[in-house]
Structure 1
Amino acid sequence: MMADKQAIIAQYAEKYGLTDEMIKHAERWTETTVDLAGLSEARLQGILDMRFGAIAVDTPRSELWHTPDTIDVIEDIPYLPDGGYDTEAGQCRGHLLDLYLPHDAVLRCGHTLPVYIDIHGGGFTYGYKELNRNFNVHLAETGFAVFSLNYRPAPQTDLKGQLADVQAALRWIKAHLTDYPVNPNAVFLTGDSAGGALTMLTLAIENNAEAAAAFGIDEPSGIGFAGAAPVCGAYSSASLETMGSELTVGYDPNRRTGLEQMLGVEFFDGIEAADPKFLTAEGLAFNVDLPPLFIVTCGDDFLEADNLALAAALARKGADFELFDPKPRRHETLGHVFVIGMPWLDESVECFERLRRFSYERC
């Protein structure tokens, strides 16, 4: 099996033009191959295709990641006792978080700074908190404290496990908010792509007892979010079988199938009670009392339809939301999670400004 695994790894490295050095370099922000032992060939191929394709995109961008002197970073805080990097000792990298603080807020020693909690994306299998470092720096510079979370990527756990990790991180944050110069009553949630899905499912868990039970959460954190900013989120996770004839304009029947092909059908084990009620954009909007949402997508985001469906459903409900959906200029590209991967773009700068205004007006 090991020889077969190495051959498949080499195949996908060649497909995306990755050298051994590039794959090693990417371990700064993601799992690459070490957690893939014992997988079926189909799951191995699906996860490698996602991870290596993303590494090819993020490697040149990583050269621009930096933390200015105006931002203080507290790194690798374990939110569960096993959080850490020593896997041989039983530690789990997925149970760590970082905190980004504007240095000015540290000097002032107050408790007025609003907070964002960020859940990174990556198809539920790629990336750790370091992937969103540049986004978190820019968000902190905009005027927020930012907690950036790890969670265990597939195949280390399934969707229920990832949501449980997020809940554990939220409980830790809630218990420690008063340790930092932040406003504990002005906490917002954000996440991009798969992290956007985890963001919306977390809001469902926090605000709907049926959703919490369906995802196996006995007691939500109870933070009480003042709002949220899902970025290019993936909201078509319901199975085609449960949707039946109730297909909606915002539901993409290929999304769940594609995720199952990439991650394995077992990734969705144990959430039958949530399917489809909390696994579509419309279902989330109509069945959950959501806080104010700042929804981000763009004209060439492959998940734009999911995000427009969420906005349309919220509009029908009369809910509080704002949609930021810029169109790329002629001969230019924005693309999926543009504000995360390229926060220096004009459209990204505008997004940060509007997000700040939206959030500050609601806390």
Structure 2
Amino acid sequence: MSENPYSYVESELPRLLGNSSVSGVYKNKPEDFEVIEVLGFSPEVVEKGQQHWLRIRKVGVNTAAIEKQLSRALKIHPRDIGYSGMKDRMAVTEQWFSVQLPALQSMDWPAWFAEHMHAEVFPGGQVTLLEAVRSHRKLRRGVHKANHFRLRLKAVENADDLTQRVQQLVAGGAVANYFGPQRFGKHGDNVGQAMRMIQGEFQVRDRKLRSILLSSVRSFLFNQYLAQRIQSNLPYVNEGDVLILEGSQSYFTVSADDKDIVERVQSGDVHVSGPMFGEAPSPAKGRPAELEQHVLDQFPALYEGLCAARMGHERRPLWLRISDLALTWPEETVAELSFTLPAGAFATSVLAELGQFTEGEHANSTE
């Protein structure tokens, strides 16, 4: 077990499918980890709109580096640049950005990219413009529907166990919707830093960094709840659980009268949720509420820090059902895994459910 109670150690989190004999390596190079952002809608075309939406393919370049270069080369403030989600550096990724420019300014985007987004600007990386659409709305954080992943796993041991686990998921099994290592910083110590900030050991004036640290606290507490939920062997759905309506932020608490609730969960109409703690009281009841309180009793200072920051109470699905899951074996010890996850879910949580997969020595998820 980790000596630091706030550190992120993925291997210590319990899994729905139990222990696995599978092991392997992922992210040995960018081409081993592909992520394609799925907006779920098309940007509305407005010929004289001030928002230019750019679909960009990146190899070995993260979202923050693109934002920085767009801001510098276009001479605009970062607040005039929009994107929906952060994408890794050690990967091949496709995602949308929006940039706000004067209404009368026209852009030859292919030519501009050739001049300002070439390989010398991103040493060891590559950036390609796939599409440009002029519109009138800024791209906001978290609006994309899903991400499609294609992972190449190398040095795989116990291939039969991996194949069996994938078949379980294809047949309707779920994985635990943990927050992955990206949420907890390069060395997994974001929550420790947040704790020191909460205790007044240092001040964080940078609003973005403060938000990142507080977000890591909520993610850590959610992971703690989910881990204890699995260890407690509670049924998949319980009286007192809080269920989120599909495609909505609305939720309700399960009562004894909800006779068809298991059916609704299995159909994907609603999702069993866990707490993203904040100052408002939780709507959970019964045994789920007791588990939530147990987490807060273990980490009271973290919870007090969230309340002091006026963070609201939100909900997050506990279980992930994976879409478009497929497994192939191009070589004896090399597997290719593809699947689609809703926005906010982590591919590493899927891998951890399948086995013990470690990042390649050159991998660095978000730096």
Q: What TM-score bracket applies, with the shorter chain setting the length?
A: under 0.3
- TM (norm. structure 2) is 0.24
TM-score by length of 1: 0.24
Higher relative contact order at CA 8 Å, sep ≥6: structure 1 or structure 2?
2
Q: Which has the higher helix share?
A: 1
For the pair shown, the structure with the greater C-alpha radius of gyration is 2
